[in-house]
């Protein structure tokens, strides 16, 4: 398991990328930092616990081996959680912040993914 930190300067938040092949073990190893939910049927997921870590989110994923489609899917969830936390709602008139944040997070994850090779 490797941990990476992606700072989200515009929102003063952090996405912790928990790069792991064994999702369940990574959840157990970091359970004091985020919500513990049942994720045994997922290949990746995003969670948080703002009572413990305000402005911090956790992406659990096998970054090296994941398909880009899975990464984008999870980054949509991450962007939605981040913007929702800061009171920004996803609407037909307000989707640009989501697109920019997803693009930023995707580019940062691509850098991490290329470092894994």
Q: Taking the domains of the chain in order of start, what are their residue ranges?
A: 2-115
The pLDDT tens digits for 23-67 are 888 888 887 777 666 556 678 889 888 888 899 999 999 998 999
Supply the pLDDT for residue 53: 87
Cβ neighbours for 5, distance < 8 A, ≥ 6 positions apart:
14, 15, 16, 17
Supply the pLDDT for residue 59: 95
Average pLDDT, the chain: 89
Please list the alpha-helical segments (H only) found in 1-117.
23-29, 68-85, 96-115
Intra-chain end-to-end CA distance of the chain, in Å: 15
pLDDT value at 117 more than 70: no
Q: What is the pTM of this model?
A: 0.89
Please give the average per-residue pLDDT across 89-100, as a whole number.
90
């Amino acid at each position: 398991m490797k941990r990476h930190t992606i700072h989200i300067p515009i929102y003063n938040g952090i996405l912790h990328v928990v790069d792991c092949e064994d999702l369940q073990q990574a959840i157990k190893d970091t359970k004091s930092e985020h919500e513990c939910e049942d994720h045994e049927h997922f290949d990746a997921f995003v969670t948080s616990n703002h009572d413990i870590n305000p402005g911090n989110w956790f992406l659990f994923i096998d970054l090296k081996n994941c398909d880009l489609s899975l990464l984008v899917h999870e980054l949509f969830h991450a962007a939605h959680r981040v913007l929702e936390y800061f009171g920004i709602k996803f609407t037909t008139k307000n989707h640009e912040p989501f697109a920019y944040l997803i693009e930023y997070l995707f580019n940062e994850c691509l850098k991490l993914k290329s470092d894994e090779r």
